[in-house]
Amino acid sequence: MAAAVIEARDLSLTFQTADSPVYALSKVNLTVNDGDFVSFIGPSGCGKTTLLRVIADLEQATSGSITVNGLSPHDARLARSYGYVFQAPGLFPWRTVEKNVGLPLEIMGIGDAAERVKRNLDLVNLGGFEKKFPWQLSGGMQQRVSIARALAFDPRLLLMDEPFGALDEIVRDKLNQQLLELWERTAKTVVFVTHSIPEAVFLSTKIVVMSPRPGRIIDVIETNLPRDRTLDFREAPEFLKLAHRVREGLKAGHSYED
């Protein structure tokens, strides 16, 4: 039994707005183990991004408990436990690719930056693009730079908030394949937010199905899929069965209703 990287118990978060409170998260219980690839899937407003942001200490829970690497999210952030990949690449346009990847190293005062930058750019297949500026890269390449940036200081945990949501399906397929390979090679723990069922099923060892109003967990599916799967695997019966179960979960959570 691997150690729990993330442990949430009865976690709730309520936003106080002008007219009525918004229950973004309600009594969430979740365990993420070391080496897991966990996806949060659900429609907009189900709290999947909020949950990720609580883990990253970008939002604070109103009640319940959560630990990251056995620490509070705040202490885990100070301990540089995770790298965060946002919905948009969020590269600094005035920095070259290598300077963007080196940004966390500069701030954290980590040495051997050149070697780390090179290693992580190679990891996302962007060796040779060090001197380019972000605008010279495609959207998919920019997002890969941002993944290299998140990995630059070698955190054990990678938090990804719909990283490929803005990309077209062909690029997304390719990046899914690359991400899977990257996860296998680095043995990181990944928490991945998505609203794509195929993406969630293809990538995950554990799929967390969520539903809105209030944001809660409907179903947690352990996939136990072979690790060396390719894109073709998405036509396999096991894959379709899992996708069906995810869809049933979303239906049960009234996610398909207005």
Binding positions for another protein, rule: CB under 8 A: 56-58, 77-78, 80, 82-84, 86-88, 90, 92-96, 103-104, 106-108, 133, 135
Task: Rank residues 155 and 249 by Cβ distance to another protein and give the closer one.
Answer: 155
Task: Rank residues 47 and 104 by Cβ distance to another protein and give the closer one.
Answer: 104
Residue 87: CB minimum distance to another protein, A:
7
Task: Rank residues 54 and 218 by Cβ distance to another protein and give the closer one.
Answer: 54
Residue 67: CB minimum distance to another protein, A:
18
Q: Residue 195 pairs with which residues in a beta bridge?
A: none
Residue 96: CB minimum distance to another protein, A:
7
Nearest to 109, CA basis, from 152, 59, 139: 152
Residue 58: CB minimum distance to another protein, A:
6
32's tokens: 């993420």
Residue 5: CB minimum distance to another protein, A:
16
Task: Rank residues 47 and 73 by Cβ distance to another protein and give the closer one.
Answer: 73
Asked whether 193 and 48 are in contact (CB, 8 A), the reply is yes
Asked whether 202 and 233 are in contact (CB, 8 A), the reply is yes
Task: Rank residues 135 and 237 by Cβ distance to another protein and give the closer one.
Answer: 135
Task: Rank residues 1 and 107 by Cβ distance to another protein and give the closer one.
Answer: 107
Residue 94: CB minimum distance to another protein, A:
4
Residue 86: CB minimum distance to another protein, A:
5
CA distance 22 to 16: 6
Task: Rank residues 86 and 233 by Cβ distance to another protein and give the closer one.
Answer: 86
Nearest to 37, CA basis, from 132, 130, 150, 158: 158
